[in-house]
A and B are shown apart, each in its own frame.
Chain A
Amino acid sequence: MSTQLTYEERDLVAALRQKDDQAFGYLYEHYAGALHGVIKQVVGDAELGNDVLQETFVNIWRRIDSYDESKGRLFTWMLNIARNAAIDKTRSKGFQQSQRQIPLDGEVVQPSVRPGIDDFGLKRLILKLKDEQRLLIDLSYFQGYTHEQIATALHIPLGTVKTRIRSALTQLRVLLS
């Protein structure tokens, strides 16, 4: 099965590079929901999620030539575009005025699990991690803070932040498989 998928993906990428509308339609049908789920978990708002998803597909369309299959799967590439766009949106002024912000200045309040946002996908998986690990994944992956920013905010040495995130991610891999 995986051979067939890889082959299809190669065809799909080739067609996308030709700016083939049909291939793009397939891409949207197939992946919009998965990308949307992650975007929604980052921005936490359905309408904003739609905006970001639209930006994501525009970016995919524009940048498909820069996708390098030797560096990873198409989905991984698209997922990173989606996550970056979502985090960019949360950094915009309008968003910060309208949303509750977790202050990254020392005292971090662990938010409760929001239904429809935190109870599926990666967020559901990381609920199974220790609080401390879940917080680190949330701050780094879903909120886009750098390791340095997290170290400063939580008063943890940078090396420790990195080690703990890595360890949380290896557990995430176990939970995925």
Chain B
Amino acid sequence: MNIKEYISSGIIESYVLGLVSDTERDEFEALCAQYPEIASARNAFEAALEEQLLRDAVAPSPQLRQQVQEKLANISAVPAIDSAEESGTPVRRMGAWRWLAAASLILLAVASYMLVNSHNKYNELAAENHSLRNQLEQSSNQLAAMQQDAQMLQSPGMKMAALKGTPHAPQALATIYWDTASNRKDVYLMINNLPQPPSGKQYQLWALLDGKPIDLGVFDMNVRQTRLLVKMQNVQKAQAFAITLEPNGGSHSPTMDDMYVQGAL
């Protein structure tokens, strides 16, 4: 190795000013230890640099010294956590602070992830809770309605007529509850068993008085899901009741061929 060439290559200045790679630094330090000429050339450049910079010093603000002293007093009171090993020429390295900073960034990322996660979980649970609450409310309402219906069945003036299936529909069955004790004489229908009507058709209830039908209204099968009893139109006097299948909306007079159930009081 040509020492003179190495000395004048600019490596000394690069090293002193901290502009070398890790490899170059290690190599330079090894050569310095081996060749006193290199070390003394380095020393000469360092001295010249120091002299120049001391000559061109820019005095910091006078208060700064006090601030630095206070800071150091605080540090001395607390054991240093930064024991990062630093060589003669400090180059940019991952010091303890950087590791700490990196660690806290990772921690932050993990925490954010968990926060987002638990926020999503929270939203899920809130939605679930909401839907459960709705279901509960619905069920409670249904139960209350059915209890109300059951109570009505027990009232003293309630008359009952079982409407039995005609030959047309032998399995069909419905029950009329007629509240003759009240002034209004409310009519309630319980659908025990009726086949699902074809589309475009609806069942219609009739009261029969002296052989004449009185329209008590149409009803849908799905009312069974929420009520025991379907309130129909009132009738003051009746001897029997019947249900026929009619076009949607009902008819003025019953279609006798499509009578499903009937029964007298």
Partners in one complex: yes
Segment touching A, from B39-47, B149-157, B240-248:
B39-47
Interface residues as binary, A45-71 with B (CB distance below 8 Å gives 1, 0 otherwise):
010011001100110011100111111
Give Cα A2–Cα B12 distance, bound, in whole angstroms: 20
Cross-chain contact A140 with B19 (CB below 8 angstroms): yes
What is the CA–CA distance of A152 and B13 in the complex, to the nearest angstrom?
23
Interface size on B, residues (CB 8 A): 51
Q: How far is the CA of A85 from the CA of B14 in the complex (A)?
A: 18
Interface of chain B, main secondary structure = helix
Interfacial residues of chain B within 1-59, with CB under 8 A of chain A in the complex: 8-14, 16-19, 29, 32-33, 42-50, 52-54, 56-59
Out of A38, A61, A87, A167, name the residue touching B53 (CB < 8 Å).
A38
Residues of B within 8 A of A35 (CB): 53
With A72-B42, A166-B9 already in contact, the answer to whether A63 and B82 are too (CB < 8 A) is yes
Q: Does A10 contact B (CB under 8 A)?
A: no
A110, chain B: closest CB distance, angstroms: 20
Per DSSP, are chain A's interface residues mostly helix, strand or loop, or mixed?
helix
Complex alpha-carbon distance, A80 and B12, angstroms = 14
A-contacting residues of B (Cβ < 8 Å)?
8-14, 16-19, 29, 32-33, 42-50, 52-54, 56-61, 64-65, 67-68, 71-72, 75-76, 80, 82, 84-92
Q: Which residues of A come within 8 Å of B, CB atoms?
A: 2, 19, 24, 28, 31-38, 40, 46, 49-50, 53-54, 57-58, 61-63, 66-73, 75-77, 79-81, 83-84, 87, 120-122, 124-125, 140-141, 144, 165-170, 172-173, 176-177
21 contacts between A and B (CB under 8 A): A28-B68, A31-B54, A34-B56, A37-B57, A46-B61, A62-B80, A63-B86, A66-B84, A66-B87, A70-B88, A71-B29, A73-B50, A75-B46, A76-B16, A83-B18, A84-B18, A120-B58, A140-B19, A166-B14, A169-B14, A176-B52
